Amino acid sequence: MQVPLYQAKAEFFRMLGHPVRIRVLELLGEGPVPVRDLLAETGVEASNLSQQLAVLRRAGIVVSTRDGANVVYALAGPDVADLMRAARRILTEMLQGQAELLASLAVEGE
């Protein structure tokens, strides 16, 4: 690997660092989804969604296939699905931890 590992990791996390992209990846975690549905679920403008999908595609973590007039997206591999599950679990724990921290700070503050 040419690029230093920290750099690669940072790039990867930065790629995850957008609400629409996260949402898309979680939806794809359940299975392939046509763009039309992603559009409906995320509620963003079509061109904006396309831009975000392009970021995910460039990162190689999703793939798109055409099905007639529609395009369907899917996670590029099972690793990605695992990753999303793990990220979800971790994040939930993490945010919960922070919520508790905030709660305890609020009590102290009184």
Q: Yes or no: say if 26 and 88 are a contact pair by the CB < 8 Å rule.
A: yes
Does position 57 interact with a second copy (CB under 8 A)? The reply is no
Q: For residue 40, state whether it binds a second copy (rule: CB under 8 A).
A: no
Only one of the segments 22-30, 31-39, 47-55, 64-72 lies at the binding site for a second copy (rule: CB under 8 A); that segment is 22-30
Distance CA 71, CA 24 (A): 14
CA distance 103 to 94: 14
By CB under 8 A, is residue 65 in contact with a second copy? Answer: no
Partner whose footprint covers residue 107, from a second copy, DNA, none (CB < 5 to 8 Å by kind): none
Using rule CB under 8 A, residue 27 touches a second copy: no
Question: Which residues fall within 8 angstroms of residue 26, CB to CB, at 6 or more apart?
Answer: 84, 88
Helical H segments across the chain, by residue range: 5-16, 19-29, 35-42, 46-58, 78-108
Residue 69 touching DNA (CB under 7 A): yes
Nearer to DNA (CB atom), residue 37 or residue 81: 37
Positions 85 through 104 that interact with DNA (CB under 7 A): none
